[in-house]
Amino acid sequence: MHERLSFYVKRDSFLHRLNPLTKLTLVFGLILIAFGSPWYWTPHGIVLLVIFPLSFLGKVQREYFQAAVRLILPAAGFLFVMQALFQPGGETVLVRLWLLTITQESLLFAFSNAMRIFVMVSSFTLFLLTTHPSELMSDLTRRGLPGQFAYVIISTLQIIPQMQAKAQTIIAAQRSRGLDTQSSFGKRVGALVPLVGPLVFGSLVEVEERAIAIEARGFTSRRPKTSLYEIPDSALDKALRWGLIALVVASLASRFLFD
Amino acid sequence: MKFISSIKKDFNTMTWVLLPVAIAINVVMGQIVVLLKLPVYLDSIGTMLVGALCGPWAGALTGTLSNIIWGLAIDPNAFPWWPVAFFIGLVTGFCAKGGLFKSWWKVVITGFLVALTAAIVSTPIAVYLYGGITASGSSFITAYLLQTGQGVLQAVFSTNFLVEPVDKISTALLAFAILQGLSRRFLARFPRPENVEVETGASRTELFIAIGVVIVLVLIAAFVLVKILG
């Protein structure tokens, strides 16, 4: 149950140095192009020609391919198999298995869908590997995102591991008292209450104290806050962002022109 | 600007501090359920808690941020489903505002309405983003319905409609049980403690009316489902 709570890998690379907003634009740009472009091979091209090279450029290729094998391939693969088998329609029958038929059309449909999902999840993974969450939040706050949102996201990322540890302790404690968490369905449902109760009530009690603490530190103050870290936003960043927006518009426009 | 100021009133410091805890409850509960191998998700308990205690928009924000953080920290596959979580929080909030979070049978109605909304909202996402069959276990039902000649929209919606109510009603009941376990003094610090005050002395006739309402709702839903499928 203990997962690493941020994908971020600290390296010094071109991708790491880019402004977080530029990388975010890149993520949404790639997704929109993959879903919006009228050509069948666009998502495949993006994976091979953009996402794979970017992972090397960001010096996170090892972590990226690990994530791809562990998270992205199972989901996309399952999607591909299910859709290839069960998508109705299509004329050219390739294989006939018992009740199921695989047609060329359903195979192509499944493949392009799986690739789109692959592009979507991959580009997010790449973004998360090269951007520290607090860097992203301070940059967005500087651009006008209310500070409360940054507080919620950053503090959640800290609270989840604490709570997972607490859940582990509670599960261990209840098991040592003889709580059955593995046998029949009824017993497992019954185990929910002694596990959830202490966990949820324990965490809710802390809420009030924390509210008083951050209130005392000017949480609701409206005055502009200064930041200790300066996040670079170069001319290259701006150029890249505009270039990406132009590309997205072009691919969406081409969909209307060629469809 | 009465609307905006009423939203602002729901976001006091207690709400902002509750949000991270509620999101963490969503995530950790989702994982405990996987550990216990139960056939539900229960990953929106925190969202429903906030929706009931702090109003619809706070609930909607909790749901949205839950999915964003789930995507940021655990599994990027969670990002596209944020509208579903948004509406789970929103509908819970409006139900609670209408007094549907004050006794267990009313909470069942809330759970049912939330499930209906979730089924409706997740259908277009599953259809247009994933082509109908997603990477979850219930897709086998969708696949079966597709093979029997249903349209994609109908197949996905009926699947969701079969799966969601069990999950959302149990989630709502759990959230209700948690709220009952908290002290009045603690609840009073949140923007809408009156939403979750228990009604005492619910009469027998009221209970029968409630059971009637649930039956009628189920019948209507079943009728709509048959209409779509037929």
A213-258: per-residue pLDDT in tens?
A: 998 888 888 777 777 878 888 899 999 999 999 999 998 888 888 7
**For residue A23, what are the domain limits?**
14-131+233-258
Tell me the mean pLDDT in the region A196-201: 89
Same domain? For A241 and A204 the reply is no
Task: Tell me which residue of A138, A122, A172 sits closest to A19, measured CA to CA.
Answer: A138
Could you read off the pLDDT of B48-93 as tens digits, one per residue?
Answer: 999 999 999 999 999 999 998 888 777 777 888 999 999 999 999 9
Q: Which of B24, B37, B130 sits opposite A160 (nearest CB)?
A: B24
Beta bridge partners of A93: A103
Does residue A63 share a domain with residue A37?
yes
Mean pLDDT value across chain A: 85
pLDDT of residue B202: 58
A221 assigned to some structural domain:
no
Closest residue, chain A, to B11 (C-alpha): A148
Distance from CA of A236 to the nearest CA of B (A): 26
In this structure, of A77-81, A90-94, B137-141, the range with the lowest mean pLDDT score is A90-94
Sign of CA dihedral A143, A144, A149, A151: positive
pLDDT at residue A2, as a whole number: 39
Say yes or no: A210 and A154 in one domain: yes
CB-based contact B11 A200, cutoff 8 Å = no
Segment (H or E) for A218: none
Check if A32 contacts B (Cβ < 8 Å): no
B21 touches chain A (CB under 8 A): yes
Nearest-Cα residue of chain B relative to residue A128: B72
Pair A55, A119 in one domain: yes
CA distances from B216 to A7, A81, A95, B104, B205 (A): 48, 40, 47, 18, 16
Residues of chain A by 3-state class (helix, strand, coil), percent to 5 = 70, 5, 25
A127 and A156, same domain (yes or no): no
Residues A127 and A23 in one domain: yes
A149 contacts on B by Cβ (under 8 Å): 65
Contacts for A11 with CB less than 8 Å, ≥ 6 apart: A58, A59, A60, A130
φ/ψ of residue B21, rounded to 5: -65, -45
| Contacting residues of B for A140, CB less than 8 Å apart | none
Tally the domains of chain A.
2
Gap between the Cα atoms of A193 and A191, Å rounded: 6
Q: Report the DSSP beta bridge partners of residue A96.
A: A101
Interface of B with A in 169-208 (CB under 8 A): 174, 178, 181-182, 186, 189
Distance in angstroms (rounded) separating the CA atoms of residues A103 and A107: 6
Strands (E), A65-149: 93-97, 100-103
Complete DSSP assignment for A157-196 = HHHHHHHHHHHHHHHHHHHHTT---SS-HHHHHHHHHHHH
- Whether B218 contacts chain A with CB within 8 A: no
**Residues of chain A contacting B79 with CB distance shorter than 8 Å:** 120, 124
Same domain, A37 and A77: yes
Query: Chain A residue closest to B26 (CA)?
Result: A160
Chain B hits for A6, CB-CB cut-off 8 Å, are 72-73
Scanning every residue of chain A, which has its alpha carbon at the shortest distance from the alpha carbon of B78? A121
CB contact B28 to A (< 8 Å) = yes
Region of residue A87 (phi > 0: left; psi between -120 and 50: alpha; otherwise: beta):
beta
Q: Give domain status of residue A203, yes or no.
A: yes
Q: Report yes or no on A222 lying in a domain.
A: no
Instruction: Decide if A223 is inside a domain.
Output: no
Same domain membership, residue A127 and residue A239: yes
Over 60: is that where the pLDDT of B230 sits? no
Surface-to-core class of residue A6, CB atoms within 10 Å of its CB (0-12 exposed, 13-18 middle, 19+ buried): middle
Interface contact B146-A87, CB threshold 8 A: yes
Question: Using CA atoms, how far apart are residues A162 and B159, in angstroms rounded to an integer?
Answer: 36
Count how many residues are written for chain A: 259
A191 within some domain: yes
Query: Strand, helix or coil at A228?
Result: coil
Query: What pLDDT is attached to residue A98?
Result: 65
Which whole number is the average pLDDT over B185-197?
89
> What is the spatial distance between Cα A199 and Cα A1, in angstroms, rounded to a whole number?
15
Contact map slice: B 101-120 vs A, CB within 8 A: none
pLDDT category of residue A182 using cuts at 50, 70 and 90:
confident
B2-12 residue pLDDT tens: 788 888 888 98
**Residue A1: predicted pLDDT:** 34
A82 plus A175 within the same structural domain: no
**Mean per-residue pLDDT for B93-116?**
90
Residues A207 and A92 placed together within one structural domain of the fold: no
Q: How far apart are CA A131 and CA A51, in angstroms?
A: 16
Q: Which CATH architecture has domain B9-229?
A: Orthogonal Bundle (1.10)
Percent of chain B clearing pLDDT 70 (strictly above) = 91
Quick check: B24 and A203 CB within 8 A? yes
Residue numbers in B near A157 (CB within 8 A): 69, 72-73
